[in-house]
Amino acid sequence: MSEQAVIFFDIDGTLLDHDKKLPDSTKQAIAELKAAGHVVAIATGRAPFMYEELRQELEIDSFVSYNGSYVVVEGKVVFTNPLSKEDLLRLTEEGLSQNHPIVFMDDQDMRANVPNHEYIDESIESLKIGRFPSHDPNYHQGRELYQSLFFCAEGEEVYYQNKYPMFEFVRWHPVSVDILPKGGSKANGIKHAVQVLDIPQEHVYAFGDGLNDVEMLATIKNSVAMGNGEPEAKDAAKFVTKDVSEDGILHGLKMVGLL
């Protein structure tokens, strides 16, 4: 066997295709990686409860959730980076005054601060996770929040970025951005996971396609952007594979010599 590697996969547009399906070739490739003794992990902006079935199907117990704010290695939480509640509530109040709602998220669930909103419906529907946030404007009370979803049109987040520098605003949908702690990223979460796994940087790999993958792809020594990825993701990566729907994961793993 070659030296043990750890491979971090984004979910949407990377593990899952454009219809949110797991290609057979991807499932088989991951089984082969695991059989060879490598560690397979996930690095996503999603909450843990949004891809529990996928983890079970692929038998993955190490993951970086919430773009690096909630990290689990071999089933154990090893790092968390919660949002500042005081600052988040100030942002929440101002957002409401501009018809920009928010969804609070911890490691168990997500709740919206408004009963309904078209931006929430549109963006959450695109994830095809089969659940929507219920209404609870007080969900932040007594909980650590690792990420929030803020709903505004493209460009409208610039005002909030300037006023709330303690947060990162990362767009993942035309009407929604992730709110992360300043300095939070998949790259940072992966750093903590790799420290626990004790695997050298030259044996760390990452696959991604989106804007929230750019720092990860730029930082990880062996990074692969999907053929369907954003231009910024492709520019940041060391390699570019085929489209996710064209056996892109399998092709990429062969490109980097893992299969």
| Catalytic center residues | 10
Where does residue 14 rank: exposed (0-12), middle (13-18), buried (19+ CB within 10 A)?
buried
For residue 237, list its beta bridge partners: none
The C-alpha torsion from 28 through 239 and 185 to 55, rounded to 10°, is 0
**What is the phi-psi region of residue 15: left when phi exceeds 0, alpha when psi lies from -120 to 50, beta otherwise?**
alpha
User: What single DSSP character describes residue 133?
Assistant: -
Which residues have CB under 8 Å from 103's CB, separation 6+?
Answer: 110, 111, 112, 113, 120, 133, 148, 149, 151
Report the alpha-carbon distance of residue 123 to residue 133 in Å, rounded: 12
- Supply the DSSP string of 91-130, one letter for each residue: HHHHHHHTT--EEEE-SS-EEESSS--HHHHHHHHHHT-S
Which residues have CB under 8 Å from 248's CB, separation 6+?
Answer: 14, 226, 227, 228, 241, 242
Report the alpha-carbon distance of residue 60 to residue 31 in Å, rounded: 10
